[in-house]
Amino acid sequence: MLRFARKRMLASLVSLVGLVILVFFLVRLTGDPTDLYLPIDATDAMREQFRANNGLNDPLIVQFGRYVWDLLHLDFGDSIRRARPAIDVVLEAFVWTLQLAVITMSLVAVLAVVLGSLCAFWAGRLFDRAVTFVSLIGASAPDFWIAIVAIVLFSIHLGWLPTSGTGGWQFWILPVSVLFIRPFGLIVQVVRGSMIGALSSPYVKTARAKGVKNRPIIFVHTLRNAMLPVVTVMGDQAAALLNGAVVVETIFGFPGVGKLMIDAILQRDFNVILAAIMVTAFAIFLMNLLIDLAYLLLDPRIRA
């Protein structure tokens, strides 16, 4: 297991380094921040001064060398826009996204597993068809569209919920529900499929023959076996959730890392983009590690 984790970590580190190099040079192709941050009538001397202050004067390769050197001292550089350490800006935003993601994924996990199992148990009946239909819509609907339709309905016409921003619990309902829909639609189907497989296996027949009741059969005997593919899909959804977060945060004016990155790209705030990429990549890496651990808990055969 340790060897596996080390190998995994090394591979992730290599891919992270590749990503940082790629993005470092790509973002510098988007243009000169000076054009955005100084007034149009700024003199050449002012421009020169601005570039020198932000270390944009040197050749690219020197800039890259300095960035890596600072990085090794855990210095992620400063945000041009906010004149603060980039990592602080990113971590503040990241906490918001993390909350959003954790709330959403917990809801998805609980509801998808329960509803998916019930679907498998009642396969082909009305309940199964209804849930399958809803999950199909969920998996097919564009999240930005759901978001604005929800705003029109619940915020403008009914006036129940705020349209955007942050604050009390009311502000969380719409973003969480919109983010919830797609992973829920996908995972319900995976749970259903894998539970149908598990419910028709011989050990369930044995359990039935012994007189075990339905509820323990679903939630004790089969669920654990059916969870492996579900956990895999959930892991893939962790990265996909960040895609959704970009859209949802932009629409609901939510100060998370997705919106921060879109803003940083548009504002050519290079250090913030890079720091955000590293933080999210690290989070996804941790998530994958947790999933491997979940495998170990669920399936003793892997432990060998």
Buried b (16+ CB within 10 A) or exposed e, 162-177: bbbeeeeeebbebbbb
Q: How far is the CB of 168 from another protein (least distance, A)?
A: 24
- Please give the backbone phi and psi of residue 31, each rounded to the nearest 5 degrees, phi first: 135, 180
Nearer to another protein, 181 or 198 (CB): 181
Nearer to another protein, 56 or 240 (CB): 240
- Alpha helices, H only, the chain: 2-29, 34-37, 44-53, 60-72, 86-121, 126-140, 143-150, 170-199, 202-209, 214-216, 223-252, 257-266, 270-298
Q: What's the distance, Cα to Cα, between the start and end of the chain in Å?
A: 9
Nearer to another protein, 195 or 223 (CB): 195
The C-alpha atoms of residue 11 and residue 210 are separated, in whole angstroms, by 48
Nearer to another protein, 91 or 141 (CB): 141
Of the candidates 106, 116, 112, the one whose C-alpha atom is nearest the C-alpha of residue 238 is: 106
How many CB atoms are closer than 10 A to CB 3?
7
Of the candidates 14, 22, 30, 25, the one whose C-alpha atom is nearest the C-alpha of residue 268 is: 30
Residues that bind another protein (CB under 8 A): 11-12, 14-15, 18-19, 23, 26-27, 29-30, 136-137, 139-145, 148-149, 151-152, 156, 236, 239-240, 242-243, 246-247, 250, 258, 261-262, 265-266, 273, 277, 280-281, 284-285, 288
Structure tokens at 204: 């369930």
Q: How far is the CB of 75 from another protein (least distance, A)?
A: 23
Q: How far is the CB of 83 from another protein (least distance, A)?
A: 23
Of the candidates 301, 260, 247, the one whose C-alpha atom is nearest the C-alpha of residue 95 is: 260
Nearer to another protein, 141 or 204 (CB): 141
Q: How far is the CB of 165 from another protein (least distance, A)?
A: 17
Q: How far is the CB of 272 from another protein (least distance, A)?
A: 13
Nearer to another protein, 114 or 239 (CB): 239
Q: How far is the CB of 143 from another protein (least distance, A)?
A: 7
